[in-house]
Amino acid sequence: MVMNLFIGVSLLLAMLAFLLLRKSAKPARARPASSPLPAAQHAPVITKPVREPDATAVPVVLPPALAAFRFVLEDELNDAYKQAMVAKLRHISKPAPSLHQFVSEYFMTWATTKELTDLVVSNPLLTAKVLATVNSPFYGLQMPVHSMGQAITFLGFNTVRTIGLRYIMSDTVKSGSIELTGVFDTIWTASAIACELCLKLAQKLKLPDQGVLATHMVLSFIGQLASCSLMPEQISSATANHGLLGRSESEQAQLGLASAEIGGLLMREWGLPEVIIDDVRDIDHVLVTPVQAMDTQRGTRMALCYLCARLGERLAQGSLSNLAQFDLTDEQDMDLFCLRSYLQTPALARLAEHLYSSDVLAAVARMQESIPGRM
């Protein structure tokens, strides 16, 4: 009888252990395919490594204006619509072959002064434009320069390279009408200011690959120019001075995609490397992507480019008359909401201090004074 009792208890314990193991191994219930998340809860797709979730982090609650917006990604379009969009973009001529040299990993990272000089002077028209820009009031040189070597000595390798890259782009993406000429000029001016700010701040923050960041800055404005050329002129003119949120909403309503995605389509059509396309496209995604959702190192770079792009636009448009008056803490500015979460990271902790430093303020003031029509 004792033996029977022992066997019965053993069987009972075995059954209990089996049931416990089965319960712990039960897979989590998947969300039905027919029940997608509401639009306001969608987050932009990050094409590079994302940060692992931090269980102790406080979730970022987006303001209603941001929560109601979501970037439509090109992968969400059906093939017919995407092909039609690419066909429309083909009215923009392909850039000069030297573009691929300017944006190559080697040239952005290791090229020498001689290699840059040789590349620019191989195109006499490009050489003339670069030297004319270098000698303009925008850069405030004390004496005129007459050679590419002098230009690089006084302004720096990355500044001269981005000037050359901007001219290649401006010769490619042109305004198709007199009405949009002023809009395009403002966007290119915004690009120039953003590049200079990005280089100066990256140097102060001691960020690596500063030439890569400047390249991303130039290319990040291509989608905006392309979008302007595709939309009705009245709408392009009316929305050109809007903030990124309002402009992106208008672009998606008119074209199905915002300018960041349209720029990605265009750059892919030009055969640029995917890694460049992904980085350039994701700069604008900082608008709705808190720092917790992005890899730390990459987030630092995207946030700096994002801030410089928004400042370049406002300074070029005249909506910001003085950089010293810019308020990073303005809670009413939806374009800055997610950006502020990046400024808490160690790499960007001194960004505000550097942004308002005397040499940066003086450089920006000089740039503004050189804009046509400004006093």
Residue 348 lies in a domain: yes
pLDDT in the model for residue 260: 96
The pLDDT, as a whole number, for residue 370 is 87
User: Does some domain include residue 1?
Assistant: no
Per-residue model confidence (pLDDT) at position 175: 78
Residue-number span of the structural domain to which 319 is assigned = 81-369
Question: CA dihedral in degrees (221, 71, 79, 269; nearest 10)?
Answer: 20
Kindly list the distances between the CA atom of residue 255 and the CA atoms of 60, 88, 219, in Å, as whole numbers in the listed order.
Answer: 30, 11, 20
Maximum alpha-carbon separation in the chain: 109
What is the pLDDT tens value at each position of the chain, 375 positions in all?
444 444 443 444 444 444 443 333 333 323 222 222 233 333 333 334 444 444 445 567 899 999 999 999 988 989 999 899 999 999 898 898 899 999 998 998 899 999 999 999 999 999 999 999 999 999 988 889 999 999 999 999 999 999 999 999 988 888 778 888 999 999 999 999 999 999 999 999 999 999 999 999 999 999 999 999 999 999 999 998 899 999 999 999 999 999 999 999 999 999 999 999 999 999 999 999 999 988 888 999 999 999 999 999 999 999 999 999 999 989 899 999 999 999 989 999 999 999 999 999 999 999 998 887 654
Tokens 């390279």 locate to 161
Whether 158 and 214 have beta carbons less than 8 Å apart is answered as: yes
**Nearest C-alpha neighbor of 146 from the set 122, 164, 162, 128:** 128
**Helix 222-230 to helix 244-255 angle, to the nearest 10 degrees?**
50
Is 215 a member of any domain?
yes
Phi-psi domain of 311 (left: phi exceeds 0; alpha: psi -120 through 50; beta: other): alpha
What pLDDT does 58 receive? 59
Q: Is residue 25 part of a domain?
A: no
CA distances from residue 348 to 46, 58, 202, 205, 282 in whole angstroms, order as listed? 21, 20, 10, 7, 18
User: Is residue 240 in a domain?
Assistant: yes
N-term to C-term CA, the chain = 106
Q: What pLDDT was estimated at residue 34?
A: 26
Q: What is the predicted pLDDT for the residue at 374?
A: 59
Query: What CATH number has the domain bearing residue 224?
Result: 1.10.3210.10
Query: How many structural domains comprise the chain?
Result: 1
Q: Give the separation between CA 273 and CA 205, rounded to whole angstroms.
A: 27
Tens-place pLDDT, residues 359-373? 999 999 999 988 876
Q: Which residue has the tokens 């002064």?
A: 113
User: Per residue in 113-130, pLDDT tens?
Assistant: 999 999 999 999 999 999
65 is a domain residue: no
In a domain, 135, yes or no: yes
| DSSP SS3 for 311 | helix
Query: 19 in a domain, yes or no?
Result: no
The helices-and-strands tally (H runs, E runs) of the chain is: 20, 0
Of the candidates 45, 55, 54, the one whose C-alpha atom is nearest the C-alpha of residue 75 is 45
Query: What is the pLDDT at residue 300?
Result: 95
Label residue 301 exposed, middle or buried (CB < 10 Å: 0-12, 13-18, 19+): buried
